[in-house]
Structure 1
Amino acid sequence: MASNSTPDKGLSRRTVLATAGTVGLTAVSLSAALPSAEALPVQEASTPVSGGPSRRPGGWHRYVQGPSSRTVRPVRIVAASGDVTKPEALLEPGGARSVLRRPRPAAAPRWPDGTTAEASSAHAGNNGNDGQPRTYDAANAIDGNPDTFWNDDTPGAFPDVLTITVPQVTPLAGITVISNSDGVPTDYTVDVWRDGDWRTTATVTGNDAVQRAVPFTEEISTDRVRITVTNAQDTPHGYFTRINEVWPAPVAPVPVPSITVDFGKVVVGYPQIRFTSASDNSPGVRVAFSETRQFLTDRSDFTRSDQAGGAGQGTDQFAVPAKGANWTDHKGFQTGDQVFADGLHGFRYLRISLDALASDSPAAQPWGTVEIDSIALQFTAYLGTPSTYRGWFLCSDDDLNRYWYGASYTNELATDTFRQDDVDPRNAWSASLEGKLVLQDGAKRDRDPYVGDLAVSARTLYLTHDDAAEAARNVLADLADHQRADGWIPPASINNYTLPLFDYPLYWVTGSWDYVLYTGDRPYATRYYPTLLKVLDTWYPSVTDDAGLLSKGLNSTGSYGDYAFLGRTGRVTYYNALYVQALQDAARLARLLGRNADASRWSARAGKVAQAVNSLLWDADAGAYLDSGTGAARHAQDGNSLAVVTGIADADRAASALAHLDATTKRAYGNAFMDNDTLFDQASQRVYAFTSYPEIEARFLAGRADSALDQIRRTYGWMDRNDPGITHWEGIGPDGSLYEGAYTSMAHGWSTGVLPALTHHLLGARPTSPGYATWEVRPQPADVDWATGQLPTPHGPLGVEWANSASSFRLTVHGPGRTQGAVAFPGDPRGQRVRTGRRTLWDGRRASTRDVAVVDGTLTVSSLGPGDHTFVCERHGG
């Protein structure tokens, strides 16, 4: 889910599934009358659907992104600095060795005893990882300990002033400013007190160095030095000035020897480094990780210890023994309470430096010699290789293929075992999940299973690696088992299952239906039906107003968040459209279990909510649904999209709402989730792939396949083209930036909706009742020439391939055993002639069998049983 680090910081159920069981199936199977499958042009790229996945060059296998084994090695050297020999040797284990050397540094200059420091402001202290209080006042800048620092308390507000007073006049040739990457002073002046006035002796601009020598043009005798910072480096924590030390002399830094390697894409697991030897002084190495080069500095873009006290100060540490070591990065201290490593990481880039924290002395020293044979990663997530894909996709558009497999790989990175040392440290560990396969939200962070994310990521899993469906079930079941007495269901294990979110219990309902729909797991439905009753008939009625609409604020829910921790209250279209979706899905599940009275009650309630949304939240002037009935007028992607997907919007309102989103939210990198900035600054520039998925679905369902593909190409094309490439981001900010800087997760399962969208709507195949007992194939080709693919089902693969041209549409479907399905042909039935083999099923006006009919303006052939079915749809004039 989106970060919950700041307050400003949905999904759909599709009518694809909303129309479960209404395809018009009959008891008579047409399959007996059909000849064997005809060869289609699609087979140039893939074998027939009945033959399984293609293994020929140019087939779908070449798009698979997962590593070939659990030992993953970097693919190239990005950079090397300082005294480094043969950095490229890290790429080839067992051969030449990379050597990093650094001389022992001279002792740091010290201020005379009695020197004091004061600052314009200082951040309040807190407790460190050791439980001891930490201060951030000015005295830290002259205490001789580079691990402590002065931290200004005015984020983004400058100037920040640090004044050092010496007990007697002292000659100075300059100073050295030591900072850290969480607040490097970028622009500042240095003044000295002389002849009763402050005089500027140096000006620094554009600084990005943690250690910056600032020489004076001449030696000056003074008893006071003032540093005035006018700008500091932007960090994930804001614009803060942080100064660890000021030395009373200009000392140029000795370059830190470092090598940066690139794994070619985001990977996740335990880094492994084979050290072959080292000097006998316990030289330290610090290892930094980042998903993007932009945020790879002397610290990682993110570490879990950042959220749990910062023991590693942004890097993972190791003291190398003289005889070398095969080090695997596991969480913990190497020696007592010194030399900390964070363990598992999600990253693309890794930088190893010969350096050590001052607080780690003497266990680790920032100098000496280290010889390294190789760097690797022990991959922990689901290992998706061509042999593991039970569902696949291929089409004539190379970009769409990359986005589909990029989504699958992103989701594989988030499919992992729940382990205490590797999950979000904010009280997210749970004994009930330990050791189980789960779908987490991201590879890097938060690494906790959120039920809202499953609305997308679970579908991606079911369509690719359904043998791992337990990962979704484990999450759904665990959250149900932690249901609150009043019926509310926690969104995740974080905060000991107490994080208050308003919308996520609804995702538990839709996610449970999804799980049953794709897997056919009726025992799960039976086991957790009481949970369903309690959340829909106890919790949500407690936050329903007299119009029948959910209203955030009722029952003390004003402070509850949602998927993006948005500060919206009252009647919100998104909450209510999601409520309709949950009620519709709950009714389907109730019918499966023979609970028809519950199904009728929930269906009736869904209708009442839908009517109230149309009556109270439709903005006729804008031609779109309001985000909220209170506050400034704005129109959100989430509410408008779900209103279309759930059928709240009729055809006219659907067309109008989608047109409004086109006119107000279209960006080069996707569609923004708000049409203006009244909720928070730059909301209209923020793109969430999570809420883009229902909009893409809405466009397909409204017959706007071209605009759906356009949105896909802008959103996923942007992520595919920009660092780190391949994987799908948690969120996109203004001008296509990382919406929360380094903190942004660049491989996030909730952003993989392109995969189910392409499979269910472009390829066109989807289940229409639990376990694919019934299915439908309804392709929407748009500008795509051909597509082929396979969906895994409990009964075997459902295969589809089609080829589209101006004169004809050719379709072959392979139905799984013990199932029945239907196909629908794109285009106007009046301009079509459909045949199978030599038999004409539709001549443009009438059908030759009762299994062929025009349903909602689309020609449909139903009652298709197991096996291959091939159709040719000829278009008039062809």
Structure 2
Amino acid sequence: MPSSPTGEEPRTPGTPRRTVLRAGLGGAALAATGLGLGAGPAAANGGTPPQGGGSWASYVQGPSSRTVRPVAVLRTSGDVTRPDALLKPGGGTTVLRRKQPAAPPRWPDGTTAAASSAHAPNNGDDGRPRTYDAANAIDGDTGTFWNDDTIAAYPDTLTVTAPAALRLPGITVLSNADGVPTAFTVETWDGSSWQQAASVTGNTEVRRAVPFASTVSTTQVRITVTADQATPQGEFTRINEVYPGLLPDDGIPRVVVDFGKVVVGHPHLRFASASAGNPGVRLAFSETLQFLTDRSDFTRADQSGTPSQGTDQFAVPAGGADWQDTKGYQSGTQVYADGLHGFRYLQISLDALASDAPAAQPYGEVAIDAVWLDFTAYLGTPASYGGWFLSSDDDLNRYWFGAAYTNELVTDTFRPDDVDPRGADSPTLDGKPVLHDGAKRDRDPYVGDLAVSARTLYLTHPDAAAAARTVLADLADHQRADGWIPPASINSYTLPLFDYPLWWVTCSWDYVLHTGDTGYAAAYHPQLTRVLDGWYPSVTDSDGLLSKGLNGTSGYGDYAFLGRTGQVTYYNACYVQALTDGAALARVLGRDADADRWAARAATVAAAINSRLWDAASGAYLDSSTGPVRHAQDGNALAITAGVADASRAAAALAHLDATTVLPYGNAFMDNDTIFDGASQRVYAFTSYPELVARFRSGRADSALDQIRRTYGWMDRNDPGTTHWEGVGPGGSPYEGAYTSMAHGWSTGVLPALTNELLGVRPTAPGFAQWTVAPTPGSVAWARGQVPTPHGPIGADWRQLGDGTFTLTVHAPKGTRGTVAVPDSGRRVTVHVDGRTAWNGTEATAYRATSAGGRMLLRGLGAGTHTVVVRPAR
């Protein structure tokens, strides 16, 4: 998850929270148009391709079993023999050897260190404060470090003073992998002034030996840092040790293996043997090669304060061992492993933490005869798919199944040992299926993310729909007395977000719409009433709009912890969507008074948005009615999909986004940088999803396809490939560096966009009792697919021919009826259904055919297989 609500460091503004700008249109708003939303829930696994089939199964990305092995050895260093044996079970052993290293030089007793700044202490897991002052850089403990506190206000200085003069040929700087100084100078004191001894630029090494031009006799060494690598929260210098001398190459044996794509679960190593003394093995994980260093790109220990130093440790006994990496200590409070990881690359090193002696030693010999992963997430195989998609565009097919796999990685069981350590564990969730936000992090179910990831789940693996219900019900069960619903279990259900209770409403309708579970709707109608008639009216101003800041909400965040207050288009468009979806839920239950009240309020809020937040000069909705003028992707897209914008405003808003937000790697979520620096270079697939829906539904299919190809093509082509990123930053980089989740459920909106909009299959009544098939083909030549429903699968197969003919075959299960809307592009056409004329070129002859908005609507199609043919009229 992008955001770090209880992290040690301040969060970068705009760091997403978990949000989901769920793809456009709330389910009820869609259903009300007769061109519904979503796709289906619970039925047939597998499924035979409709008419002509296709090789959709070849695109499935999931592993064939829960034992997942690496596919390649990428590199080795140090003394490593037969590394390829790690790829072949029973193919021999990989041996790592290391001689006992010499102890590094130490500063003499009485040496002191001072710094220009130091980060304030934080409490660790044991409740004791961890300090970050300068003394940590000379204490001989590589597990502590000096951390500046200037957040990029360089220069920063670290000065080491010895009690007597030392002769130094140079120094060695050991840094934390997330605080490496990239540019610094080293000066020595000659008794009267500082003399520069060395200058370093472009450094990326965690351990950097810095030789002087000649040996220097001095009592003081000063390091001045002028640049540092970016971290998720800013730039920090983190120096673990400064050694008085030049350390030789560390000689640590390492081997890096590649699992081919991001995987998630418990790493598993089998050791055939080891030398005496329990040589240590350290595992470092990363989703990308860029951030594969001597520490993992992320571990939960980074947030919990456990002294893991960013790797998982194991002390190998002489007789060998079969080690599954699960959370905990191997020897008292020594040799810690973090357990479950989401990663693509694994580095295995023969090494040990100094603090783990004598339980583990950083030298010796270990023989490894197997390495694999015990996969814990949903195992998506061709047999498990209830829905699928295939088209004439191979890229779109790959993105669809990449989204399915990304979502499988976050569909898992809630376990205390591998969820977010910041107060997320909950006995009401333990052991239940859930949809986490990310495979690597944060690993907590957020309701905003469900607005995308749950819909992806319903369209692919309806047998797992309980994972969505678990989350929705649990959050409703923790509703606050004033009606506010928590966004997730993190912080013991107290993280204050302004927008997520609205997403709970929309996701609840989504769930009922796709699964037909009206029992859920009845059980949680009281919570629905309290949030819509209690909490949100308490933050509504005299203009009838939600206004963040009222009722003590100035400190509330949103999906990206954005610093916006007052009347914000995004919040209010979400409100319209939630009121519309809440009305649909109420109507299903026969609670017409509630439905009428909420529908009327939705219309009132929509009118106020158009009156107060439309910027006629720019032809787009303002992000906020106060502060600098800017226009956001989230508010403009949702205003269209929630039905706030009429056709002319929708066209203008999309044109504005075209003119101001288009990047090689997607569409930015803001049109300028007035909310934070770099906002106009940041892309969230999460907030891009409703824009895709808006483009399809506004008759701009090719612009939607272009946006898909830029957004998902970028992620597909760049490391780690296949899976969909939490966010993309300037230049197309992971937007929060190593911290970024590279497999995030809220970014899978390409899947429902292609199934619901391009293929065109959506439910319009709970459980798909009523449905619509309304293809929006754009330049795609053909598409076919299957959508699961409680009644059985709905199949759709369409094709555009060169002579202007459009054919569509729909297979609908028993107990359902629907509407077909085929493109006629405003031309004079004839339409036949199963060989029977439905439109003769000028008027309807069957199926109450109506031509409107570039489509021919055909109503009342029942169960069975129907073929629709549209031809230019002669």
| TM-score under structure 1 length normalisation | 0.95
SS where residue 31 of structure 2 aligns? coil
Determine which of 785, 789, 793 is the counterpart of 1:793.
789
Aligned equivalent of 1:700: 696
Aligned equivalent of 1:843: 840
Q: Which whole-Å CA distance do the structure 2 matches of 1:506 and 1:101 have between them?
A: 57
1:413 matched to 2:409? The reply is yes
AA partner of residue 689 (structure 2) = Y
SS where residue 755 of structure 1 aligns? helix
Q: Which whole-Å CA distance do the structure 1 matches of 2:182 and 2:837 have between them?
A: 76
SS where residue 714 of structure 2 aligns? helix
Residues 166, 204 of structure 1: CA spacing in aligned structure 2 closer, same or farther, 3 A cutoff? same
1:438 matched to 2:449? The reply is no
1:572 matched to 2:568? The reply is yes
1:834 matched to 2:831? The reply is yes
Contact 2:27–2:513 (CA<8 Å) still a contact in 1? no
Matches within 5 A, 1:269-280: 269-280=265-276
Determine which of 582, 587, 598 is the counterpart of 2:594.
598
AA partner of residue 252 (structure 2) = V
Q: After the TM superposition, which of the residue ranges 348-357 and 172-181 deviates more from structure 2? A: 172-181
1:810 matched to 2:807? The reply is yes
Aligned equivalent of 1:46: none
Matches within 5 A, 1:749-768: 749-768=745-764
1:859 offset after TM fit, Å? 1.4
AA partner of residue 806 (structure 2) = F
Q: Which whole-Å CA distance do the structure 1 matches of 2:283 and 2:717 have between them?
A: 27
Contact 1:775–1:820 (CA<8 Å) still a contact in 2? yes
SS where residue 108 of structure 2 aligns? coil
AA partner of residue 709 (structure 2) = R
1:837 offset after TM fit, Å? 4.6
Residues 279, 316 of structure 1: CA spacing in aligned structure 2 closer, same or farther, 3 A cutoff? same
Residues 157, 750 of structure 1: CA spacing in aligned structure 2 closer, same or farther, 3 A cutoff? same
Contact 1:516–1:525 (CA<8 Å) still a contact in 2? yes
1:127 matched to 2:123? The reply is yes
1:237 offset after TM fit, Å? 4.9
1:688 offset after TM fit, Å? 0.8
1:196 offset after TM fit, Å? 2.7
Q: Which whole-Å CA distance do the structure 2 matches of 1:136 and 1:425 have between them?
A: 22
Aligned equivalent of 2:4: 4
Aligned equivalent of 1:660: 656
Q: Which whole-Å CA distance do the structure 2 matches of 1:719 and 1:108 have between them?
A: 43
SS where residue 226 of structure 1 aligns? strand
Determine which of 862, 867, 870 is the counterpart of 2:867.
870
1:13 offset after TM fit, Å? 4.6
Contact 1:685–1:733 (CA<8 Å) still a contact in 2? yes
Matches within 5 A, 1:246-285: 246-285=242-281
1:742 offset after TM fit, Å? 0.7
Aligned equivalent of 2:39: none
Q: Which whole-Å CA distance do the structure 2 matches of 1:496 and 1:204 have between them?
A: 46
Which segments of 5 or more consecutive residues in structure 1 lack a partner in the other structure?
26-48
Contact 1:21–1:769 (CA<8 Å) still a contact in 2? no
Matches within 5 A, 1:507-526: 507-526=503-522
SS where residue 585 of structure 1 aligns? helix
1:192 offset after TM fit, Å? 2.5
Aligned equivalent of 2:94: 98
1:15 offset after TM fit, Å? 6.8
Residues 624, 302 of structure 1: CA spacing in aligned structure 2 closer, same or farther, 3 A cutoff? same
1:538 matched to 2:534? The reply is yes
Aligned equivalent of 1:853: 850
1:548 offset after TM fit, Å? 1.0
AA partner of residue 687 (structure 2) = T
Residues 421, 678 of structure 1: CA spacing in aligned structure 2 closer, same or farther, 3 A cutoff? same
1:558 matched to 2:536? The reply is no
SS where residue 387 of structure 1 aligns? helix
Q: Which whole-Å CA distance do the structure 1 matches of 2:52 and 2:60 have between them?
A: 14
Q: Which whole-Å CA distance do the structure 2 matches of 1:772 and 1:726 have between them?
A: 31
Matches within 5 A, 1:326-405: 326-405=322-401
Matches within 5 A, 1:16-27: 17-20=28-31, 23=34
Question: Number of matched residues?
Answer: 854
Contact 1:818–1:866 (CA<8 Å) still a contact in 2? yes
- Note the alpha carbon deviations across 1:443-467, whole angstroms, 9 max, x for none: 0111000001111111100011011
Aligned equivalent of 2:634: 638
Contact 1:4–1:564 (CA<8 Å) still a contact in 2? no
Matches within 5 A, 1:152-551: 152-194=148-190, 196-551=192-547
Which segments of 5 or more consecutive residues in structure 2 lack a partner in the other structure?
6-10, 16-20, 37-44
AA partner of residue 266 (structure 2) = Y
Residues 213, 523 of structure 1: CA spacing in aligned structure 2 closer, same or farther, 3 A cutoff? same
Q: Which whole-Å CA distance do the structure 2 matches of 1:57 and 1:636 have between them?
A: 41
Aligned equivalent of 2:770: 774
Aligned equivalent of 2:729: 733
AA partner of residue 845 (structure 1) = T
Contact 2:414–2:434 (CA<8 Å) still a contact in 1? yes
Contact 1:577–1:642 (CA<8 Å) still a contact in 2? yes
1:681 offset after TM fit, Å? 0.8
- Note the alpha carbon deviations across 1:56-112, whole angstroms, 9 max, x for none: 996100110000000000110111111111111110111121111111011222222
Residues 325, 57 of structure 1: CA spacing in aligned structure 2 closer, same or farther, 3 A cutoff? farther
Q: Which whole-Å CA distance do the structure 2 matches of 1:858 and 1:218 have between them?
A: 81
Residues 145, 23 of structure 1: CA spacing in aligned structure 2 closer, same or farther, 3 A cutoff? closer
Q: Which whole-Å CA distance do the structure 2 matches of 1:353 and 1:859 have between them?
A: 64
1:51 offset after TM fit, Å? 7.7
AA partner of residue 733 (structure 1) = G
Residues 704, 17 of structure 1: CA spacing in aligned structure 2 closer, same or farther, 3 A cutoff? farther
Residues 237, 88 of structure 1: CA spacing in aligned structure 2 closer, same or farther, 3 A cutoff? farther
The percent of aligned pairs where both chains have the same amino acid is: 68
AA partner of residue 814 (structure 1) = H
Computed over aligned residues only, the root mean square deviation of the Cα atoms, in angstroms, reads: 2.0
1:163 offset after TM fit, Å? 2.3
Q: Which whole-Å CA distance do the structure 2 matches of 1:540 and 1:780 have between them?
A: 36
Aligned equivalent of 1:14: 25
Q: Which whole-Å CA distance do the structure 1 matches of 2:832 and 2:54 have between them?
A: 31
Q: After the TM superposition, which of the residue ranges 172-181 and 435-444 deviates more from structure 2? A: 172-181
Residues 16, 248 of structure 1: CA spacing in aligned structure 2 closer, same or farther, 3 A cutoff? closer
SS where residue 306 of structure 1 aligns? helix
Q: Which whole-Å CA distance do the structure 1 matches of 2:614 and 2:443 have between them?
A: 38
Residues 222, 23 of structure 1: CA spacing in aligned structure 2 closer, same or farther, 3 A cutoff? closer
Q: Which whole-Å CA distance do the structure 2 matches of 1:703 and 1:733 have between them?
A: 29
- Note the alpha carbon deviations across 1:412-434, whole angstroms, 9 max, x for none: 10100000001000000000000
1:843 offset after TM fit, Å? 1.5
SS where residue 294 of structure 1 aligns? coil
Residues 701, 57 of structure 1: CA spacing in aligned structure 2 closer, same or farther, 3 A cutoff? closer
Q: Which whole-Å CA distance do the structure 1 matches of 2:363 and 2:786 have between them?
A: 57
Q: Which whole-Å CA distance do the structure 1 matches of 2:685 and 2:368 have between them?
A: 41
Aligned equivalent of 1:29: none
Residues 170, 625 of structure 1: CA spacing in aligned structure 2 closer, same or farther, 3 A cutoff? closer
Q: Which whole-Å CA distance do the structure 2 matches of 1:233 and 1:613 have between them?
A: 42
